[in-house]
Structure 1
């Protein structure tokens, strides 16, 4: 695999591997892939922090990357957008990645392998990363936090339709009681509590009809987010909760508070970042 630093400055590969990159197959699981935005200010000597943005059920990865380019440019952050496709093993399975394991694939480990490639190719700081996701991406994001709190500097969770509570009396994905058997990892609420969390949703995002159509007749999206917030706070996590007026179930509509949240934390994160 080519490191960008090994290419001469005038090599066309430099243009291909900076700013908007192509999609790369994920190492070890080529059915998944990822793209990157590398800010204009990047040089081979820099060790930039990383923001991972996880798509929702619609897999709108193009809009997701484009929407974070201003943040990447202003704050010198590399944006990594994984793509977990529909239809692995089951052609109608749109949810595979949301609970982190399905069809023999550990999607959390796929992301960690992606980050290792990003570290190698762009000399990026991946010891801890910023992590955000909306809807299905929000499901992935908070569950990834539970299993890998040491790899997350801060997480923003937007409007998830389903949540996992820090409750050992419930099995995954409703709770964390069987994660040692399922993942080989026992969730540590104290480690999770060291990571700042933003919960964000549009004021017009009820989602009750959508969730009922998928078999959940008990909760709306705001109720799910409240349940998650209470569970995190009960175990000591510093949780911010933002409701965006006039916005429905929209990743772009709820992005401004996510950007504000990460911007406020970046100075401290840069100081503590581990390459």
Structure 2
């Protein structure tokens, strides 16, 4: 292999540097791309959406062995804090923020990745924890046709499928807001995983009336992230959506602590 080719592979395969999105260079992503992707099929694409701390590279690195084992590409988007408002840390969680549609941004980043690598961009696997879990279940409402599976990890604030509740507590006027209706039949076809640690019981960050990410009524969904995810599970099941629910013993609010169950969930589906 020529030295130039070796240099190219060094930065485009394995764990890549952080890359600026071409659609909006304020947004970034990193990848793990196995050196030996399968040649007889498109590689599964697994998207790991960070939470408030934007620890995308940490999640990407934690999924390297999974990627190599399953011949999958890992994509970890990075949606920085401080976009437009320097004090904002929540932007992507609620999908639409000051003219930025983060669901559209993710889909465009996926298109950029698919232009460079042989991945199945049409239907991908999506996991997010905490703020990423908020993004994941709202993305599911908008784009179930693009998801091979959705894994929702410990969201502090949930959106129920309930047209009597205003967005983002519920889905009232969803079509007017997002330009498309919720397709329940399509959502029911997506394998859904919910996961939270058995010791994820801190409440100071999620019970914060008056903050920018609070709506009155949020407290009715539960005191802890465990209770809120259980509320979301009941809401999904009442709407005919099957859920695999994992309560991970001995784990608090740590995305890395629940990641083994996510790897198992996605791995079983990919193996089929």
Considering the TM-score relative to the shorter chain, is it more than 0.5? Answer: yes
Query: Contact 1:190/1:235 (CA < 8 Å) preserved in 2?
Result: no
Summarize deviations over 1:185-238 as a string: whole Å, max 9, x none.
Answer: 111112111111111011110132221235555531111101111111111111
- Range 201-210 or range 128-137, more displaced: 201-210
Task: Give the alignment partner of residue 98 of structure 1, picking from 83, 88, 93.
Answer: 93
Matched position secondary structure for 2:256: coil
Provide the TM-score with structure 1 as the length reference: 0.90
Q: CA deviation at 1:27?
A: 2.8
2:258 to 240, 250, 254: 254
- 1:154 and 1:86 map into 2 onto residues whose CA distance is 27
Find 2:49's aligned residue among 49, 54, 63: 54
1:197 to 192, 195, 201: 192
Structure 2: gaps of 5 or more residues: none
Unaligned 5+ runs, structure 1: 1-6, 269-275
Q: Does 1:88 align with 2:106?
A: no
Distance 1:257 1:43 in 2: 25
* 1:106-132 deviation digits (Å, cap 9, x = unpaired): 000000000101111012111100000
SS in 2 for 1:123: coil
Which position in structure 2 is the counterpart of 1:180? 175
Within the candidate set 229, 235, 242, 2:246 is matched to: 242
Contact 2:38 2:71 in 1 (8 A): no
Q: What count of residue pairs does the alignment treat as equivalent?
A: 262
In the alignment, the residues of structure 2 paired with residue 37 and residue 179 of structure 1 have an alpha-carbon distance, to the nearest angstrom, of 35
Q: Would the alpha carbon gap of residues 235 and 22 (structure 1) be closer, same or farther in structure 2, given more than 3 Å must change? A: same
| TM-score, normalised by the number of residues in structure 2 | 0.91
CA RMSD between the two structures: 1.8
1:232 aligns with 2:236: yes
1:222-257 CA-partner distances (Å, limit 9, x unpaired)? 111011111111111110111111110000101111
Does residue 1:133 correspond to 2:137, yes or no? no
Are the counterparts in 2 of residues 133 and 141 from structure 1 also a CA contact under 8 Å? Answer: yes
Aligned partner of 2:226 among 215, 222, 225: 222
Q: In structure 1, what is the Cα distance between the partners aligned to 2:96 and 2:41?
A: 34
Kindly indicate whether the alpha-carbon contact (under 8 Å) linking 1:138 and 1:160 is maintained by their aligned counterparts in 2: yes
* 1:44-72 deviation per Cα after TM superposition (whole angstroms, max 9, x unaligned): 77521100000010111121111111110
> Does 1:150 find its partner at 2:154?
no
Instruction: Give the Cα separation in 2 of the matches to 1:8 and 1:112.
Output: 34
